[in-house]
């Protein structure tokens, strides 16, 4: 199983930031409202995540570390209507096959915490009692220690950490209700308290996208049928010199989607010169059955069943808003 898991890891675990993404998504799926990350040496030495989510019961720990074991999907019908961020059930197994992974967890209903790790070629899971508050901690040490070819592909600690920081930024922009903390080599890099008021949200937006964006971006909300678009968009006139803040989410998942980017660019139209970059933080929501997220394990792509409709809706929603502003 170790080799099979390592091959699967090739798909999901490209670098420390991909590990962080899988771990954070698991915490969010578990309903966590507090997520703390401690990173050492760009994540190649240590990635530690702590959450206050629902936890994993003692008897589920072995399963959580096994490949193709997911608690999130039980039928084909579920696969057509994915609402959780994870669904393949292979992230933890993959990560633990290319690192030294320890999982410690305590569901609120259980009076003691338990810890698990999988070792050796047979990936035998050892379970032992531990001390831990409600929630889950996962520690990933020495990423790629047993796959030297992959390890050689890692860039400098600084570069790897910047990928992690960018990821946390993107996640924090999609979950204002969650408090985030991120440290590197013992130094706190980000501390973002949960933001439940408009003022607190504005503050987080300024911390992540800059003061200029937070002050000048326009909040929009638009709905057509079952499709909803909301978020912030910067007027073309303010796009000059703006370090481009370009973030879009589909049903809460971060996306780099060609169709959406094309629609956004088209909405600015002539207002935007060739040197100017659009800046936006946009959330598209639609019936989960209308979008396929099961395109690739890295999951940055989606397929819309009604691509044309989605595209045209985004263009019209944004160009209306931008035109009103420019006028
Ligand atoms: P997936 O997210 O696709 O289900 P993973 O390998 O990422 O697969 O996780 C396996 C299982 O472990 C999840 O289905 C979930 O039940 C459990 N799990 C992982 N991380 C957490 C967490 N932080 N809190 C609660 N449960 C978790
Ligand atoms: Mg997962």
Q: What is the mean predicted confidence (pLDDT) over 22-50?
A: 97
C-alpha 35/C-alpha 41 separation (Å) is 20
pLDDT at 276: 87
Q: Do domains 2-192 and 210-326 have the same CATH topology?
A: no
Class of domain 2-192: alpha beta
What's the pLDDT score for residue 2?
Answer: 76
pLDDT, mean over the chain: 89
Q: Is residue 76's pLDDT more than 70?
A: no
**pLDDT tens digit sequence for 167-226:** 999 999 999 999 999 999 999 999 999 999 999 999 999 999 999 999 999 999 999 999
CA 278 to each of CA 35, 270, 281: distance values in angstroms, whole numbers, following the listed order: 30, 12, 10
Residue nearest to atom 12 of ligand 1 (CA): 64
What is the per-residue pLDDT for 294? Answer: 67
Greatest pairwise CA separation for the chain in angstroms: 66
At 83 the pLDDT is 64
The pTM is what?
0.91
What is the predicted pLDDT for the residue at 303? 87
Q: How far is CA 219 from CA 59, 174, 201, 285, in A?
A: 46, 15, 12, 16
Measured from the CA of 90, which atom of ligand 1 is nearest?
A: 6
Q: Please work out whether the CB of residue 56 comes within 6 Å of at least one atom of ligand 1.
A: yes
Distance CA 233, CA 25 (A): 26
Mean pLDDT of 134-160: 95
pLDDT at 293: 73
Range from 73-87, 198-212, 292-306 carrying the lowest mean pLDDT: 73-87
Among the atoms of ligand 1, which is closest to the Cα of residue 136? 23
Please state the rounded mean pLDDT for residues 225-239: 92
Instruction: Assess whether the C-beta atom of 87 lies below 6 angstroms from ligand 1.
Output: yes
Return the CATH architecture of domain 210-326.
2-Layer Sandwich (3.30)
* Candidate from 45-49, 139-143, 213-217 with smallest mean pLDDT: 213-217
Across the range 84-111, mean pLDDT stands at 87
Distance separating alpha carbons of residues 121 and 49, to the nearest angstrom: 25
The residue ranges of every structural domain in the chain are 2-192, 210-326
Q: What is the pLDDT of residue 47?
A: 98
Ligand 1 pocket member 53 (CB < 6 A): yes
Asked if the model's pLDDT at residue 26 lies above 80, the reply is yes
Rounded Cα gap, residues 168 and 191, in angstroms: 11
Q: How confident is the model over 256-283, as pLDDT tens digits?
A: 888 899 999 999 988 888 888 899 999 9
Which of 49, 70, 73, 133 gets mutated to test ligand 1 (max ligand atoms within 8 A of its CB)? 70
């Amino acid at each position: 199983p170790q080799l099979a898991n390592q091959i699967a890891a090739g798909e999901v675990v490209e670098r420390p930031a991909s590990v962080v993404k899988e771990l954070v998504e698991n915490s969010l799926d578990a309903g966590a409202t507090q997520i703390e990350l401690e990173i050492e040496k760009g994540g190649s030495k240590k990635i530690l995540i702590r959450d206050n989510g629902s936890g994993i019961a003692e008897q589920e720990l072995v399963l959580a570390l096994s490949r193709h074991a997911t608690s999130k999907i039980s039928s084909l019908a579920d696969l057509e209507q994915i609402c959780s961020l994870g669904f393949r059930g292979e992230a933890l197994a993959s990560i633990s096959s290319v690192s030294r992974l320890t999982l410690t967890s305590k569901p609120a209903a259980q009076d003691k915490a338990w810890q698990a790790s999988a070792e050796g070629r047979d990936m035998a899971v050892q379970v032992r009692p531990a001390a831990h508050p409600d929630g889950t901690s996962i520690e990933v040490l020495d990423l790629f220690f047993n796959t030297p070819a992959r390890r050689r592909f890692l860039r400098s600690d600084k570069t790897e950490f910047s990928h992690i920081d960018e990821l946390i930024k993107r996640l924090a922009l999609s979950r204002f209700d969650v408090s985030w903390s991120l440290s590197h080599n013992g130094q706190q890099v980000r501390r973002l308290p949960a933001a439940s008021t408009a003022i607190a949200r504005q503050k987080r937006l300024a911390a992540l996208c800059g003061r200029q964006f937070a002050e000048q971006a326009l909040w929009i909300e638009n709905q057509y049928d079952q499709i909803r678009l909301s978020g912030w968009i910067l007027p073309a006139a303010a796009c000059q010199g703006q370090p481009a803040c370009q973030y879009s989410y589909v049903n809460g998942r971060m996306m780099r989607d060609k169709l959406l980017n094309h629609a956004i660019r088209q909405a600015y139209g002539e207002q935007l010169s060739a040197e100017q970059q659009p800046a936006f933080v946009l959330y598209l929501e639609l019936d989960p059955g209308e979008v396929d997220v099961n395109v690739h394990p890295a999951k940055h792509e989606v397929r819309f069943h009604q691509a044309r409709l989605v595209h045209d809706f985004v263009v019209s929603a944004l160009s209306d808003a931008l035109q009103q502003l420019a006028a």
